[in-house]
Amino acid sequence: MLKIENLYKSYGKKRVLSAFSMGTDQMTAIVGKSGSGKTTLLHILAGLLKPDSGVIAFHDTAYNFRSFGDLANMRYRYIGVVPQEYCLVNEASVFDNMAYPLKLHGVQKQETKKRVLELAEMLEIEDLLTAKPKKLSSGQCQRIAIARAMAHKPPLLLADEPTSALDAETKQTVIRAFTEYEGLVVLATHDTDAISAAQNVVSLDAQ
């Protein structure tokens, strides 16, 4: 269960989030016009950005925004992130990009290979595992970033516009992967198909 209470965030004189609260244990789509705070909210949920005030808890563990170490530990234990920019290592293979979180968590090589192959098949990128991201399309890189975030099965998966670079058919493959994911998925999106697939929709325009 993810709980957010009275979250505030400003950039200078511009207030982005104002007394924002929500609670969810279902796949949730965060919607709103550009500049409404969707990416800011995901960055706060990922522990990458501190709010001005407010309380966030996941699995009854409160975020400690006073400690970067505690936030890093929160990410390590609970969170997978799919950023808009993909943030792949261009000189590493697709396999190594996907395997990185598993290696970080000390998963054995055989289990790492099994998990990477499972995700590659699910997201239809199994023919790309030896390729380098710099030679691939935006849609392919987007799926690699999604697979990487899912690799170690984090209980909370945060995705920022995860279908923006995908064609209609591939988008359905990705949406199905999100709906079947065992953890809690929270995504920021303008995509009507992704919004329709979510069990919970929260609008930031209503703040």
The domain that contains 199 carries what CATH number? 3.40.50.300
Average pLDDT by stretches of 10, the chain with 207 residues: 97 92 97 92 97 96 95 95 94 97 96 97 97 95 97 97 94 97 96 96 83
What pLDDT sits at residue 206? 58
What is the chain's alpha carbon radius of gyration, rounded to the nearest angstrom? 17
Number of domains present in the structure of the chain: 1
Phi, psi of 8 (to 5 degrees): -125, 140
Token match 């499972």: residue? 118
At 192, which amino acid appears?
T
**Of the candidates 207, 194, 205, 206, the residue with the CA atom closest to the CA atom of residue 33:** 205
Q: State residue 98 phi and psi, 5-degree precision.
A: -70, -35
Residue appearing with tokens 């199905």: 176
pTM: 0.95
Count Cα atoms within 13 angstroms, Cβ side, for 55. 7
Query: Which sign does the torsion angle of CA 10, 61, 204, 168 carry?
Result: positive
| 62, β-bridge pairs | 57
What distance in Å separates the CA atoms of residue 194 and residue 11, rounded to the nearest whole number?
29
pLDDT at 34: 87
Structure tokens at 128: 């790309």
User: Which residues form the domain of 198?
Assistant: 2-203
Query: Mapping DSSP to helix (H, G, I), strand (E, B) and coil, where does residue 73 land?
Result: helix
- Spatial distance between the Cα atoms of 187 and 155, rounded to a whole number of angstroms: 14
Tokens of 133: 């991201």
